[in-house]
Structure 1
Amino acid sequence: MVRLRGGRPASIAVTGLSGSSESFLLNALGSAQTSPILVVTRHSDDAADLYEDLLNLMAEDALGYFPSRQILPYDFRAPVGEIMGQRLSTLSGLLGGTKSIVVCSIRALMEPTIPVGALQESRVDIQVDREIDLDDLTDRLIRLGFRRVPLVEEVGDFARRGGLIDLFTPGYENPIRVELFGDEVESIRVFEVGTQRTVGQLQHVGVLPKREIPITQETLERELERLPETDADYIRHRYLNDPELPGLEWLSLLFGLEKGSLLDYLPADSIVLFENEDALKAETESIIHEADMLRDRLANRLTRLPAPDEYYASPDNLFASLRTHAHINLLPFRGARNDIISFHCNPHPAFASRLDLLGNTLQEFRDTGMFYFIATDTDGQAARIDELIRQKARLEQSPHIEVADIRGGFVCSEGRFAILTDHEIFSRYHRRVRKKKFREGVAIADYSTLNRGDYVVHTDFGIARYLGLKTLVVDGRNRDCLLLQYAGTDKLYVPIEEFNRVSKYSGKDSAPQLTALGGPGWDKLKEKTKKAIADMAADLIKLYAARKSKPGTSFGEDSVWLKQLEAAFPYEETPDQQRAIDDVKRDMTDERPMDRLVCGDVGYGKTEVAIRAAFKAMDAGKQVAVLVPTTILAQQHYSTFSERLRDYPFKIAMLSRFRTRKEQLETAQAVGKGALDMVIGTHRLLSADVKFHDLGLLIIDEEHRFGVKHKEKLRQLAATVDTLAMTATPIPRTLQMSLMGARDMSLINTSPKDRLPILSEIAEFDPAIISTAILREIERGGQVFFVHNRVQTIESMHNYLRKLLPKVEIAVAHGQMHERSLEGIMLAFLAKRYDVLLCTSIIESGLDIQNANTIIINRADRFGLAQLYQIRGRVGRSARRAYAYLLTPPTRLLNADAIKRLRALEAHSDLGSGFALAMRDLEIRGAGTILGPKQSGFIEEIGFDLYNRLLEEAVAELKGEEIQRLPETKLELDIETYLADGYVNDRQHKVDIYRRLADSRNLDDVERIRDEVTDRFGRMPQSAANLIEATAVKIAASLLEIEKVRMHGGIAHLFFREDRKLTRSEVEALRKGTDCPMEFSLIGIPRITIDLTSVSAIDRLSHLRGLLGKVG
């Protein structure tokens, strides 16, 4: 610091740093410096790594991250909202003087940003107890690029409901809810997107523009008038139906708008740290060259295009500006320079999982007075490592372990300081744990929202089309109803209290046949389905009971080796994955044979569950068989198991037709002699010459893909051994619950948290886009999927791509090829002998090829959202950034639904609310796969939700469990019980609230909904409060077997079920519960009349609810 302050602008060079020691140096510099430090890295990933490191060492508020936009110049694509938020939040923090260190890549620094003055003028400050004009705030949000929506989900969304305004401003992890009382801000609350519920309170919020170029559609149109007509027309057609205005970041340069730079936000006495200045300069040349190439592809479309050095800062000018600040040049080695500060931070020692070597090193650290700690990513990993080290490293004292996501360890002899990391101890690669976690619970809530035109199932009347929510006036009172269209011209109005009898239809992709209202067909179909379900459930339960009665092997507790294997797992287990692992281990310690099915998408972690189960069996001296349906999967599993188990003395072999006849015979003999611990193979494993010496565990992948004969042999093989079946098709969690006690199932329906988001782009079919995408992936050593879903024209596309990219190796794969040819192609692609796999949608649920990280989907508009999600999911399965290009005809030729589907896929790079319907569709397909084709047919005919309800009842009945069927209490009230448009103005939100109230089974459910509605929409008007109370009365009455509650003019009549007998204690409880006059009639149908006229009109329902609760 003395050297840096000695003169302006001072310059020093530093070398000798390893691992994450740069982060510790920066932290020390930041603590000693009052002005910000700007750190410039060569690559975006380097900047992200450094930022994640620093988060472990300093307060997040003091640290800024300025990422690159991750869009290329001249691309018609909008930046991701989270990235915009990070950039704008960092700029705002620099203006406010809160940032002590800011990290960015050289590309991010070159990119233009919002000028300082524009950001200062556009920021909107909202504070509790201060007055604001809601209309003025609404107008300002629109000018800042925010989009008015019914439900806030994305950065840049806002919604207004009465005296409430929800908004998702850049720079915040969650959206904000501002509630006013009159014109005064009463509260500012933070809420979650998935639940829309409050999770925190704020006193102040600073609203930032949605983008660095906050131009509205109207402003854009005005600016386009100044461009040549052909240019304006081309730009307009790219924007058609797209409120995101993609490409604005470079198009704004055509309009002569002022642009700013990150450097404009730095005080003069800031320090700049270069990560190797020469490398940064080389990178700027590469960035400008790339921009030149990209500009050329648009040159024949637009007559006016900004030059690369208009979009990016000129490298010469940029470095000249940087050198006006004191700066540090971080060099990889000393070279011949003398004016350099050298540190002696050595790389992390190599232990290769040898815990005895680790123990020796730690003891040496302690003996020499070296301070150290071991960094792990999670609490669970910290506990595992602590136990392993104490058991195997034989230390005199417990090691120092800290939960910190440190990129790389180092040993700094000068500072007597060392950091070791768990991933380097166990020689596994490190993946950053991304701050943005995925949100659970969104999919189900979103799925059940009804849209006009959706198909629904009414339990009593069958399949209909939903035509919307209608408000009828009945006896002078407003009443909301669902309007359903049946076959012909028949329509049915369903009152809100019966919404629980209506569910969204999900069964098949095509439109179902509407039921004829009033005909006998629906009842016959339900009875036929019930019988088929009962037969299937009986078979399942019989098999389950028979299997559980047979003796098996009880495997012991986890060994130290197994704990070491688990500690070396390169990822953090997802909650679902950990539950599946625990389920399997619990089954294996039981004396009865395990029979468990694990369901989950490719890449969700099923194989790791199988690996740990296999290890546990082999560790106990038993053999393991892994059976797969195809040779390709056999090869993949062989590679995966061999890699994970390479440090342990287990012998693994593969048995398939891709082995020679001699090799197959040798493997079969080795299995019989017990010379092999594990064999992985296709149905060849079921041949008569394969006899296991001591089989303890059978793992079956995709059991449903085996034929009848193979399944019979499987049943014989699995009679007394533990069996673990796996499927890559997700299924609904409700099906798992319904089958409880008939089939042991574990679901992994959550993707790994630390998976890098897939960057998706919608683009027109363009040879420049295709060639750029493919060559970029090949240059970084990767492979590409090109999906062309027309077998008839796939050869023409093959010829087109070969002419476009003559030096690229391209293979073709589709479902009409001979199986052996197809497998040969896939194996060759897996072995990296081809750069591009041109294929149909056969890869939809295919291999886990981690080296393929770019996918191009031709005519993406022809796919459904569920299928697009599955296909795109073939990439993004490694630590490398993945890209998806959705190629379409010109936007103006697409219908609104196709655009909406594609935008949802482009915007949601991780699992989120946009995929609720897609995931649901996949799960329904999965349910049909698990239950078999016959049951799948019934799901299609009556819809999954009703099918699942009938299945749950059938299983419970066969298990001898009592099914409690309480009466559906009918309410006849002389008050309004509905959600007025002025309170909940979005019809879909209304339907969702009505449905959830109708589905409520206890008073706690009702109270949760009351709290949520008040939280989301503000104070309730009387009609809404009546609705909540009426639902509570209905539930309380149903529990007492009251069939009808009628209340008129303050007189309540309670009609019980005919066979219901009121006890003396119940009568006493009713009498003592109120001072209101009461009359009992026990002749015929039991009835109670209560005179509530002495209770105020607005409190009568709650009084009645309380009275009924005292009896229950």
Structure 2
Amino acid sequence: MPSATTSVSTAAVQQLPDLLALYHADPRVARIAESLHEKNARVQIAGTVGSAQALIANAVMAHTPGVHVFVLNDREEAAYFVNDLEALRAPLSPGEGPGVRAFFFPSPSRTPYDPDGHHDGERVTRTEVLEVLMQRTAVQPPSPPSLPSPPSPPSLTIVTYPEALVPLVVAKETMAKNTLTIKRGEELPIDTLEEWMHETGFQRVEFVYEPGQFSIRGGIVDIFSYGSDKPFRIELYGDTVESVRRFDPQDQLTVERLAEAVIVPDLQDDEADSSQLFFDQLPADAVIWLGNMQAIGDAAKQRLKLLTEAYERSPEKEKHPAPETLLATDSALIKGLLGFRKVFWGSGDQMIRRSDNEKRGQSSDHLIDPSSDQQIDFHLRPQPSFAKEFKVLSGDLHNKRNAGYTNLIACNSAKQSERLYAIFQDMEHDVAFTPLMLDLHEGFVDPELKLALYTDHQIFERYHRYRLKEGFRKNAQALTLKELTQLKPGDLVVHIDHGIGVFSGLETIETPRGPGEPPVRQEAIRLKYRDNDILYVGIHSLHRVSKFSGEEGGKAPNVSKLGSPAWKNLKEKTKAKVKVLAFNLIQLYAQRKSKPGFAFLPDTYLQHELEASFIYEDTPDQEKATADVKRDMEKSTPMDRLVCGDVGFGKTEVAIRAAFKAATDGKQVAVLVPTTILALQHAKSFKERMKGLPVRVDYINRFRSSAEQKQILADLKEGKIDILIGTHRLVSKDVKYKDLGLLIIDEEQKFGVNVKDKLKTLRATVDTLTLTATPIPRTLQFSLMGARDLSIISTPPPNRYPVSTLLQPYDEVVIRGAIEYELSRGGQVYFLHDKVKNNEFIADMVGKLVPGGK
């Protein structure tokens, strides 16, 4: 529908390219782009909200290619902005490729004075950005007059925040001098390459799995550069580079083939050369987008304070440079912005004023004089809050459609779109909206374009978590590689086809390719069998080899003989035993299926509403476990499923959805937990999730009075309580259910024998769901052999970092540093010790170490 002020139509917006084209043709965007064509341009944008900022920036960058640096107010805002830009990487037309990737430039999470130094993931991410800038700003030799000028380098987008700009970075000249570029087809003696890697601090290992490592096996060299989240594999034929590949250290498989590899050593530890502002790395024609200018100065002061405290408590501070030599001052950062084209967005009170500049002794016009800027106001409005009232949402969309608006709802998955359609269908409301498979952070309304773009997670009040590019994560090696690095010569291994052998190292071997063709060189592990027979297994066939695992303290097995029928006969005998086991298992399944059960109905409107109201995004494993449980519940045979997952991976949410499904189908639910505290926690979680829904949740434990327990049991017997949570009290003789349909057991292994005996009769004909983080061998064995169905939640929530555990002697300096670091990033600290009577003493000690903590 055409706007009153523009000629752009939103009627044809059906897919992401249509949305991008809409803003690409927006006259307001054209005005910004036109202003940026001037040297030292300053543009002030107002009236932008939510993810519209990324849409506008994406459209402006399409008009003004080059280097664009976005300085957001903090890390979280920057991460969401990167997420939005990456979601918008779509071609404007079918023939074009995806848009320009947005690079994230984070701040170091550790100080140079911490015992464990830098966090490798952030160090790699920062170095990657600096390397890209170095490659872009490298001086190119002029083209001869007879040849056309080389094409302009591609556009580059960098997103960062003030805290990340404060640490000085390695100078461009130093990085260029210490960087090695290896090109396919060039001459490179392997001895020269090895010498360079030793000189630049790379560590030689057998397998590379983290930055700063390299390995040499024959003519194959693996190098993990600090400028890449994946290692490089260089294959040499004599002194000639035959191939350059990037590979995954988890499975050793090639990710992509390259024409060249840029190897960057760890230059961030060379503080003497870390003497350049980040802005000094940028080309002169870069465009810098700024929000709150004051945040830059505040970040510089806060970072200096943090580093000074870490420096003063460092036991070896004389070996480290002073904090002042590692950081940029607030005035230096402000001055570093001089000469660049700048875009300011936000309200006028966020801008740095003329008086602030004069206090710093700087000219009043070197950054911004709002009266002289090109000012463009988009007049956007944020997405309204509907408080999960879908009738209100339906009315809003209906009114906007009548007013000529195009209604778009950005959903991060097809499932969320289906939930919306199901809810409106159950309400029998004819709602006009176009779903977009688009993972945006915040919706908005654009009155000039008559466009309403809402996000599904805001509608359902779900927590939206950004997804940054998967960078290097320490301890992320695949199991096969991890086991291989732990193997020592002499360890017993089992090859599925040839039996038990002895691991004797890794070698590079040559295999014939064909008549007149050079042999193929490949990596292989060397296995030794009886009578000194040797078997080579290619690195890509590791799935057929596993480390021998026998009975603890048992007799070591005999090494197999290659070509002997003994191993084949042993496998046949094992297969026969497996058939017997399978027959017994079939009988067990038959007994289970012969028992009558209750088949729950498919999901209802209320079930969709409950699941859509989950404030976090389901992980793939969590989504699969939920589907498994609901599928079992809808069968006519009793469910007996074990859901296994680490703490915080979402098992409770799976249980809540199963309990609600049972309750809305008229059945009662018993939730059995091992401790009183856990009963209180579950009761709180269940009540919060089912608030406003027609389900009554209660709990019973020793903290409830006799009168309360009596009333609860009476209500339970009459069917007035839908979900009851409690400890072993739930299996007492006086607990009577009107119609129990689902039993949920949390950490079954923690219950005693008497409780488990009572559970056998209780779970005979009702659906049973067991949750555990650490199943006992017997429980796990029953699940693995099929007597109980098994769902594993192994996917962590987005952006969850792996647990880092350090074991070291008691040291108050280390304790204070760890607590202060966690508090500085807005985190919380739990201090655990072994005696309750010492709680006050420990609290007093921590209070003295960290006076600023609460």
Give the TM-score normalised by structure 2. 0.76
Report which stretch shifted further, 1-10 or 579-588: 1-10
Q: How does 1:578-589 map to 2 (within 5 A)?
A: 578-589=623-634
Q: What does residue range 1044-1063 of structure 1 map to in structure 2 within 5 Å?
A: none
Question: For 1:607, what is the secondary structure of its paired residue?
Answer: helix
Distance verdict in 2 for CA 1:150–1:371, change over 3 Å: farther
Taking structure 1 as the reference length, the TM-score comes to 0.59
Query: 1:441, 1:314 → 2: CA distance?
Result: 40
CA distance in 1 between partners of 2:753 and 2:627 (Å):
31
In structure 2, C-alpha distance between the alignment counterparts of 1:195 and 1:257, rounded to whole Å = 36
1:21 to 2:63 alignment: no
1:180-329 mapped onto 2 (5 Å cutoff):
180-202=236-258, 204-213=259-268, 248=269, 252-253=270-271, 256-257=272-273, 259-298=275-314, 301-303=316-318, 305-329=320-344
Question: 1:433: which partner in 2?
Answer: 467
1:775 deviates by: 4.7
Q: Secondary structure at the match of 1:699?
A: strand
Structure 1 residues 487-636: aligned runs within 5 Å: 503-505=547-549, 512=553, 545-636=590-681
Find the partner of 2:458 among 421, 424, 428: 424
d(CA) in 2 for partners of 1:608, 1:194? 30
Q: Deviations over 1:470-519 (max 9, x none)?
A: 99xxxxxxx97659xxxxxxxx98866799999533777xxx4666999x
**Quick one: structure 1 residues 411 and 608, their matched pair in 2 at CA, closer, same or farther if it must change by over 3 Å?**
same
Q: How far, CA to CA, are the matches of 2:278 and 2:330 in structure 1?
A: 14
Task: Give the 3 Å change call, closer, same or farther, for CA 382–721 of structure 1 in structure 2.
Answer: same
Shift of 1:443: 2.1
| Letter paired with 2:113 | Y
- CA shift for structure 1 position 406: 1.5
**CA contact under 8 A between 1:369 and 1:416: conserved in structure 2?**
yes
Deviation at 1:5, TM superposition (A): 4.8
Task: Tell me the residue number matched to 2:479.
Answer: 443
Alignment of 1:1090-1109 (within 5 A): none
Q: Is 1:153 equivalent to 2:209 in the alignment?
A: yes
| 8 Å Cα contact 2:649-2:797 kept in structure 1 | yes
Map of 1:654-693 to 2, 5 A cutoff? Answer: 654-693=699-738
Q: Helix, strand or coil: the match of 1:709?
A: helix
Q: Indicate yes or no: 2:121 matched with 1:86.
A: no
Offset at 1:651? 0.8
Contact 2:742 2:767 in 1 (8 A): yes
Partner secondary structure for residue 717 of structure 2: helix
- Cα 1:157/1:795, change in 2 over 3 Å: farther
Task: Describe the shift of the 1:494–1:709 C-alpha distance in structure 2 as closer, same or farther (beyond 3 A).
Answer: farther
Q: Point out where structure 1 has 5 or more consecutive residues left out of the alignment.
A: 214-247, 472-478, 484-491, 519-528, 811-833, 836-1112
| 2:394–2:431 Cα contact (<8 Å) kept | no
Structure 2 residue 188 is the aligned partner of structure 1 residue 136 = no
8 Å Cα contact 1:358/1:393 also seen in 2: no
Q: CA deviation at 1:319?
A: 0.6
CA contact under 8 A between 2:667 and 2:739: conserved in structure 1? yes
8 Å CA contact 1:152–1:166 kept in 2: the answer is: yes
- The answer to whether the 8 A contact 2:87-2:439 is kept is yes
Cα distance change of structure 1 residues 270 and 502 upon mapping to structure 2, 3 Å threshold: closer
1:830 aligns to what?
none
Give the CA deviation at 1:432: 1.5
Q: In structure 2, how many angstroms separate the alpha carbons of the residues matched to 1:199 and 1:278?
A: 43
Write the deviation string for residues 712-747 of structure 1: whole angstroms up to 9, x where unpaired.
221121121111112111689996698444332222
Opposite residue 105 of structure 2, the aligned amino acid is F
1:56 paired with 2:111, answer: no
CA contact (8 A) 2:668 2:721 kept: yes
Distance 2:489 2:218 in 1: 29
**Residues 305, 180 of structure 1: CA spacing in aligned structure 2 closer, same or farther, 3 A cutoff?**
closer
Note the 1:363-374 alignment, pairs <5 A: 363-374=398-409
1:475 alignment counterpart? none
1:410 pairs with 2:444: yes
Structure 1 residue aligned with 2:378 = 343
Alpha-carbon distance in 2 for matches of 1:51, 1:90: 14
Greater shift, 100-109 or 445-454, is seen at 445-454
Cα drift, residue 352 of structure 1: 2.0
CA distance in 2, matches of 1:685, 1:493: 64
Output the CA distance in 1 between the equivalents of 2:440 and 2:319: 47
Q: 1:541 to 1:743 in 2, by over 3 A?
A: farther
Alignment of 1:646-657 (within 5 A): 646-657=691-702
Deviates more, 1:3-12 or 1:341-350: 3-12
1:345/1:776 CA distance change after superposition, 3 Å: farther
Q: Structure 1 residues 140, 419: closer, same or farther in 2, change over 3 A?
A: farther
AA aligned to 1:89 is: E
**Number of aligned residue pairs:** 734
**Is structure 2 residue 844 aligned with structure 1 residue 802?**
yes
Alignment of 1:826-975 (within 5 A): none
Over 3 Å counting, the alpha-carbon distance change for 1:778 and 1:688 in structure 2 is farther
Determine helix, strand or coil for the equivalent of 1:113: coil
Using the alignment, how far apart are the partners of 1:734 and 1:125 within structure 2? 54
CA distance in 1, matches of 2:379, 2:52: 10
CA distance in 2, matches of 1:308, 1:350: 46
Equivalent position to 1:40, from 71, 90, 93: 71
Residue number in structure 1 paired with 2:62: 31
Shift of 1:672: 0.8
* 1:430, distance to aligned residue in structure 2 (A): 1.2
**3-state SS of 2:702 partner:** coil
Bigger Cα displacement from structure 2, 646-655 vs 410-419: 410-419
1:66, CA displacement in angstroms? 1.5
Deviation at 1:386, TM superposition (A): 4.4
SS of the equivalent of 1:79 reads: coil
TM-aligned CA distance change 1:195 to 1:5, over 3 Å: closer
User: Structure 2 counterpart of 1:267, which letter?
Assistant: P
Out of 105, 117, 127, the position equivalent to 2:183 is 127
Q: Does 1:65 align with 2:99?
A: no
Report the Cα offset of residue 32 of structure 1.
2.8
Partner of 2:773: 728
1:124, CA displacement in angstroms? Answer: 2.9
8 Å contact from structure 1 (residues 541, 742) kept in 2: no
Question: Residue 805 of structure 1 aligns to a residue in which SS?
Answer: helix
CA distance in 1, matches of 2:673, 2:254: 47
Q: Conserved in 2, the CA contact under 8 Å of 1:481 and 1:494?
A: no
Letter in 2 for 1:692: Y
Identity of aligned residues (%): 35
Cα deviation, 1:113-135, whole Å, max 9, x if unaligned, reads 12111222333333334443333
- For residues 756 and 648 of structure 1, do their structure 2 counterparts lie closer, same or farther at Cα, with a shift above 3 Å needed? farther
Question: Equivalent residue of 2:637, what SS?
Answer: coil
Could you tell me how far apart the structure 2 residues matched to 1:46 and 1:493 are? 65
Q: Paired residue for 1:77, among 103, 116, 123? A: 116
The C-alpha deviation readout for 1:809-843, integer Å capped at 9, x for no partner, is: 99xxxxxxxxxxxxxxxxxxxxxxx97xxxxxxxx
- Residue of structure 1 equivalent to 2:791: 746
CA 1:717–1:11 in structure 2 vs 1: closer, same or farther (change >3 Å)?
same
Contact 2:816–2:849 (8 Å) recurs in 1: no
Per-residue deviation at 1:552? 1.1
Please give the per-residue CA displacement for 1:331-374, whole angstroms capped at 9, x wherever unaligned: 35669997464432222211222233223333333333334432
Name the SS for the 1:786 alignment partner. coil
How far off its partner does 1:599 sit? Answer: 1.9
C-alpha displacement of 1:641: 1.8
Retained in 2: the 8 A contact 1:470–1:480? Answer: yes
Structure 2 CA distance for aligned equivalents of residues 412 and 733 of structure 1: 60
CA distance in 1, matches of 2:80, 2:308: 29
Offset at 1:99? 4.2
Q: Secondary structure at the match of 2:830?
A: strand
